[in-house]
Structures are given as C-alpha cells and as structure tokens.
Amino acid sequence: MRGSASMLFGRGSTGGVVNQVTKQPILDNQHEAQATVDSKGYLRSTGDFNLKTGDDAALRINVMGTKAANGGATIDKCGIAPTYRWGIGARDEFSVGLFHLNVDNVPMSAIRYLGGNVPDIKPGNFYGTKSSGTLGAYAQDLVQVAPGWKLLGGIRYDSFKGDFSQTAYPANAASTQTKTSLSDGTFSYRTGVLYQPSPTSSYHFSYGTSFNTSADTYQFVTPLNANTPPEKSRNIELGAKLDWLDR
C-alpha cells in the first residue's frame, strides 16, 4: 500500500515522489559519523547514532549539516531525524519519529534581460535570496480486523515557512528590493483497505490527500501571491498483486 499519496511520503507528493525510508532503531549500540570536505568550500557532516534502551526498545538519531558556495549561490542546511521504537520482535511493535530539515540556501539564478538587452554580468552571479524551513509529523496504523482483511488509517501535518526577496533592476534607475514572507500549514490524510486471501495474492483500495505550497519551486513568491492557498490533490488507488511464480 505504497501508492503516490501523501501519507507515506509527505508534503509535495502531488506529481510523484522518491520513496524515502527512515532508518529504524535496532537492538544494538552502534554509531557512525562521516565528514566530507573539498577545496572549494564544500563541507558536509552526518551522524547516525543507535542506542539500545531496553530488551525490546531502541533510539536512533540521524543528523546532517551541509555548507557550500558556488559563484554566489550557497547551500546552508541542517536536519535531524530521531526515531524511538519499542516492542521490537513482539506481536505489537510501535515506532514514533520526527523529521526536521532547515534550509537557508541561495539557489543559482541570473538575469535574463535588462532594459531589453542582455546584461553585462559574470556567469554564476546570483540576484535574489531566500530561506525556508519545513516541519512535518504523522501518525499511521495498520490493523487486521478479520482473517485476510486489514485497514489502514493515518493523518499528517506539515508546516512550511519561508522568507524571500526579489531585486529589480529598472533601466536608468537604482535597484529596488522587495521582501516577502510565506507560511503554510495543513493536514493530509490516508485511508485504505487490504485484502489478502492467500499468500500469493493481495488486493487494495486506498484514498489519500496531498498539497503543494506556492513556494515549492522557490520562485514567483511576491506580496501579491504570498497568500495563495496550497495546491491540493487527492489520490484514489485500486490495485492487485498476484505472484504466479513458484517459490
């Protein structure tokens, strides 16, 4: 039941997503840290820390930080993803986690035309800045209600905040800068039913919602459209899986 709906993949899955799987805690104490540095100012560090907290429980924390510069554009982001899991190996297993990513980048950009002519600027220069942050949380449960029948239900909340600025270069006039702030937050939902009459066949029906903010492309955010509500979508999926090969 991993269709293209928001419950499993989060904000912005309207047009398709990459299946990002969270690292789950394991019953062991193990830790790993990595760092990458290059001669052009790129610096990236990651950490993966797993701590066994009980006979059937563990905590896993992943952290990341990246900084880079490229001809005026910059990357400055950090994130953390803690997950606590208990009942590991038991009949009832539970997991709760958080994914937080903060981005303060200056993306690559340039000027197309200035006063009807191609401006005399150096390649790689950037004109305009932005910063943003995203926070999401969800709860989901899959319950077997009868032999061969399972029900899925879940709810997710995502919050997006961003600060944007645009610099205008009028012909024969001084440049002007306009600053805009954008804040969106909304719920998305997912529900479904799964029928497995045999080990080699399964049938499912699911319904899910998703949304994209007007700032998902990090452009076209001005005081005139900053209050544009998120673009919402819904996904209805009916499918079957049949295994015809001998195992």
Q: Over the stretch 166-212, which tens digit does the pLDDT of each residue have?
A: 777 677 778 787 787 777 778 888 888 989 998 888 888 888 887 77
CB of 130 closer than 8 Å to CB of 105: yes
pLDDT band at 111 (very low <50, low <70, confident <90, very high): low
Our count of domains for the chain comes to: 2
Amino acid at residue number 34: Q
pLDDT at 29: 97
Tokens 């995502």, located at residue: 158
Q: Are residues 86 and 139 in the same domain?
A: no
pTM value is 0.53
What is the span of the domain harbouring residue 168? 108-247
Residue 130 sits in the same domain as residue 162: yes
Q: Same domain, yes or no, for 174 and 100?
A: no
- Residue finishing a domain among 56, 90, 105: 105
> 149 and 226, same structural domain?
yes
In this structure, the answer to whether residues 119 and 132 fall within a common structural domain is: yes
Among 2-6, 23-27, 66-70, where is mean pLDDT lowest?
Answer: 2-6
pLDDT given for residue 187 in this prediction? 86
197, burial (CB in 10 Å: exposed 0-12, middle 13-18, buried 19+): exposed
Is 9 within the bounds of a domain? no
